[in-house]
Chain A
């Protein structure tokens, strides 16, 4: 099995109970997904549990995924489940203060040996970081609170004392601008 098997091919193999394919998919996404989950749950043990649960689901759900129509979506699907599981976890914890551990606890990783896809993802991530930086503070805040901290729009409205409609419109504007900025960067070919 070549290193370059697509995610869709791996999912098809996983659907046929090919554990080597699962391992390959795991290797491909371990760091990305772990980092993402860790960003949300801020706890190494919980992050591992979430990643574990995710891969159990991948194993059990692969046969139900239509890899034809879902082409290119496998990673998004995994990230979405990973986020849902992570948010479930922090909700179960009764939301201990997350901000306290925000700074300085992340183990930075100096150099990954990267696969081609990781390089591609890293580049996309950097482009999006750039786009995120250009949001105004209010927009950044709602994106962070909702997406990375798992708050609902009602909770954001309540905690930040802003009308629900304002939360919605900040999210709307943020996504609109992210999309515009992100796509412009891509078209301009700033990143070769």
Chain B
């Protein structure tokens, strides 16, 4: 049931608040150029709407977000250049539309291609660009472009991870020295194994590093991770050493602003994998939650 002309004018407030469904919204926007009164109302009430975003509780953005986002913009820019020929048609944009509704910049026809969260983080950056007009390009060229972008993206990611790894390594070193200070200074501590832990589920930005050191007291596992998902209530992260798929509890830890660490001393054994799970509490003897980070302990 569509509204009469008069009815459309009654939608101005809901439109402004963002509460019209797609169909009503398009209808209202078509109506706007011919209705002085509605345009006036939009202008009047926009002073209210524009301030609503400022009423929210401030939240600290995740660390490193700026670098990641600016890199992603650069990625997208490269892609844009390779596609520029196909999008010259999009230039025209009226500023009155900008004033009335910034969502003009989020055209509905592009929506299906955006934000496919089922993709991995890296893949998503490559695939879901807002400028997508890829269907205009020959398939092979598109495939080549995607490959190029994926490798560029991966390269960037690796660089980023290398940077993170340096930081983590420094932190691990600090932990190691703290560890050393606890009782007797260990002698001849050797790093046996350093494993970068990678996210196992899509859309997770967590990273971690596991270091196994050996001294005369045995083997020590040092794990540090950051950008972990937020814990609620009794939840905890739990570290597991796996031998042929069988998990051994290496302890639980909590996080502060997404960062957590743990160390565990154990009798030398041949473990082949290390994993961190997101647990409902810190008391589990077997993994119950999903694995967030994992790494192989087998020689590469």
Contact = CB atoms under 8 A, between A and B. Distances in A.
Contacts of B101: 80
A124 B60 CA distance: 20
Q: On chain B, which size bracket covers the interface?
A: 35 or more
Contact of A108 (B18, B57, B103, B115): B57
B76 interface: yes
A125 B58 CA distance: 11
A100 to B, nearest CB: 9
Given A81-B103, A108-B57, A128-B51, A59 B76 contact: yes
B69 A19 contact: no
Contacts of A51: 61, 65, 69
B102 interface: yes
B95 A69 contact: yes
Interface stretch (B6-14, B153-161, B273-281): B6-14
B245 to A, nearest CB: 29
A152 B20 contact: yes
Contacts of B49: 76, 175
A64 B52 CA distance: 25
A120 B139 CA distance: 50
Interface string B72-109: 11101100100000000011111110110111011000
B45 A64 contact: no
A55 B69 contact: yes
Interface in B18-67: 18-21, 44-62, 65-66
A19 B73 CA distance: 9
Contact of B105 (A81, A92, A105, A146): A81
B288 to A, nearest CB: 19
Contact of A152 (B19, B103, B111): B19
A69 B99 contact: yes
A172 interface: yes
Contacts, number: 233
Interface in A99-125: 101, 104-109, 112, 121-122, 124-125
Given A65-B93, A146-B18, A81 B70 contact: no
A35 B57 contact: yes
A105 B51 CA distance: 24
Contact of B58 (A46, A93, A108, A143): A108
Interface in A165-184: 167-168, 171-172, 175, 178-179, 182-183
Contacts of B95: 65-66, 68-70
Contact of A156 (B19, B60, B99): B19
A79 B50 CA distance: 8
Interface of B: 10-11, 13-14, 16-21, 44-62, 65-66, 68-70, 72-74, 76-77, 80, 90-96, 98-99, 101-103, 105-106, 111, 114-115, 117, 124, 129-131, 203-205, 229-230, 232, 257-258
A-B CB proximity, top 3 nearest: A80-B102, A125-B54, A66-B95
